[in-house]
């Protein structure tokens, strides 16, 4: 599976964990991306926003809401040079406002994932993809979009078996 790329956006700092704001040093989506990489031997690519998100939950939430409502496309540091080298793309993100953060939309508009297998994964507090799957379907019409994996943030550390089963499908 060396032709596998794991692209993800993740945020450390204050996060909602079981309905409480707690500080985490590594974002849940990053933990999940590293788990997927350990199983697939895929290369990791973290989307780093040019303008970092605040570590403060409320400030980050306000920015995420504005980006969603105004359809803003936050820039990221582009580091991917040869997408053609990869057949399978795992695409990871937290769920913000019942869908993926707008930085994922920036990625999807920057790179052509046509004829690639795309396997989305998310972390969230609610337990599902929300509107993200619908948005992905409309953005990836020429890709082989597979069933995604959604893990609650507080369950990420205990999700290796679920990750393995999902990858094998």
- Cα–Cα nearest to 8, from 91, 88, 76: 91
User: Domains of the chain: which residue ranges?
Assistant: 4-168
pLDDT tens track for 74-89? 999 977 888 999 999 9
pLDDT tens track for 41-61? 999 999 999 999 999 999 999
Q: What is d(CA 139, CA 155) in angstroms, rounded to the nearest whole number?
A: 29
Taking a C-beta distance cutoff of 8 angstroms, is the pair 122, 100 a contact? yes
What predicted TM-score, i.e. pTM, was given to this entire model?
A: 0.95
Q: How many other β-carbons are positioned within 10 Å of the β-carbon of residue 23?
A: 12
Average pLDDT for 133-153: 95
Written out in words, the top-level CATH class of the domain with range 4-168 is alpha beta
């Amino acid at each position: 599976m060396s032709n596998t790329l794991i692209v993800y956006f993740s945020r450390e700092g204050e996060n909602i964990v079981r309905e409480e704001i707690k500080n985490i040093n590594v974002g849940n989506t990053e933990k999940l991306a590293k788990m997927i990489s350990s199983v697939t031997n895929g290369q990791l690519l973290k989307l780093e926003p040019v303008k970092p998100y605040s570590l403060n939950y409320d400030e980050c939430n306000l920015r995420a809401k504005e980006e969603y409502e105004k359809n803003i496309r936050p820039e990221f540091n582009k580091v991917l040079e040869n997408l053609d080298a990869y057949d399978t793309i795992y695409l990871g993100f937290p769920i913000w406002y019942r869908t993926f953060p707008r930085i994922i939309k920036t990625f999807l508009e920057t790179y052509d994932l046509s004829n690639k297998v795309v396997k989305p994964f998310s972390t969230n507090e609610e337990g599902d993809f929300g509107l993200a799957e619908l948005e992905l379907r409309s953005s990836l019409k020429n890709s082989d979009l597979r069933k995604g994996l959604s893990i609650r943030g507080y369950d990420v550390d205990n999700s290796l078996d679920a990750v393995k089963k999902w990858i094998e499908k």
